[in-house]
Amino acid sequence: METTNIKAYGNQSAEAPLKNLNIDRRKPTPHDVEIEILFCGVCHSDLHTARSEWGPTIYPCVPGHEIVGKVKSVGTHVSKFKVGDTVGIGCIVDSCRECQYCKDDLEQYCEPGMTGTYNSPDKNLPGNPTFGGYSERIVVDENYVLRIPDNMDLASAAPLLCAGITTYSPLHHWQVGPGKKVGIVGIGGLGHMGIKIAKAMGAHVVAFTTSESKFAEAKRLGADEVVLSKDEEQMAAYRGKLHFILDAVSAQHDVNAYLALLRVDGSLALVGAPEHPLPISAFSVIVGRKSFAGSAIGGIKETQEMLDFCAEHNLAADIEMIDIQSINEAYERLLKGDVKYRFVIDMKSLKSN
Which of 58/280 has CB closer to Zn ion? Answer: 58
Q: Is there binding between residue 64 and ligand NAP (CB under 6 A)? A: no
Q: Is there binding between residue 110 and ligand NAP (CB under 6 A)? A: no
Dist CA 43 CA 160 (whole Å): 11
Segment interacting with ligand NAP (CB under 6 A) among 7-15, 27-35, 205-213, 322-330? 205-213
Which of 145/227 has CB closer to ligand NAP? Answer: 227
Identify residues 293-352 at the interface with ligand NAP (CB under 6 A). 295-297, 334, 337
Which of 137/253 has CB closer to ligand NAP? Answer: 253
Q: Is there binding between residue 210 and ligand NAP (CB under 6 A)? A: yes
Residue 96 interacting entry, from ligand NAP, Zn ion, none, C-beta within 5 to 8 Å by type: Zn ion
Could you tell me which of 64, 168, 169, 69 has the C-alpha nearest to residue 116?
64
Dist CA 64 CA 43 (whole Å): 7
Which residues touch 126 (CB under 8 Å, ≥6 apart)? none
Q: Is there binding between residue 43 and ligand NAP (CB under 6 A)? A: yes
Whether residue 341 has a cis bond before it, omega within 30° of 0: yes
Strands 242-247 and 262-270: parallel
Which of 206/344 has CB closer to Zn ion? Answer: 344
Which of 18, 145, 158, 187 touches ligand NAP (CB under 6 A)? 187
Other CB atoms within 10 A of residue 152 CB? 20
Closest distance to ligand NAP from the beta carbon of 28 (Å)? 28
Residue 95 interacting entry, from Zn ion, ligand NAP, none, C-beta within 5 to 8 Å by type: Zn ion
Which of 99/154 has CB closer to Zn ion? Answer: 99
Other CB atoms within 10 A of residue 202 CB? 12
Q: Is there binding between residue 189 and ligand NAP (CB under 6 A)? A: yes
Closest distance to Zn ion from the beta carbon of 109 (Å)? 8
CA torsion angle 93 117 189 156 (round to 10): -60
The phi and psi torsions of 34 (rounded to 5 degrees) equal -100, 125
Closest distance to ligand NAP from the beta carbon of 316 (Å)? 15
Segment interacting with ligand NAP (CB under 6 A) among 8-16, 71-79, 144-152, 160-168? 160-168
Residue 248 contacts residue 225 (beta carbons within 8 Å): no
Q: Is there binding between residue 45 and ligand NAP (CB under 6 A)? A: yes
Dist CA 306 CA 91 (whole Å): 14
Could you tell me which of 256, 241, 269, 250 has the C-alpha nearest to residue 341?
250
Residue 250 contacts residue 186 (beta carbons within 8 Å): yes
Instruction: Point out which residues bind ligand NAP (CB under 6 A).
Output: 43-45, 48, 162-163, 166, 186-191, 209-211, 214, 248-253, 271-274, 295-297, 334, 337
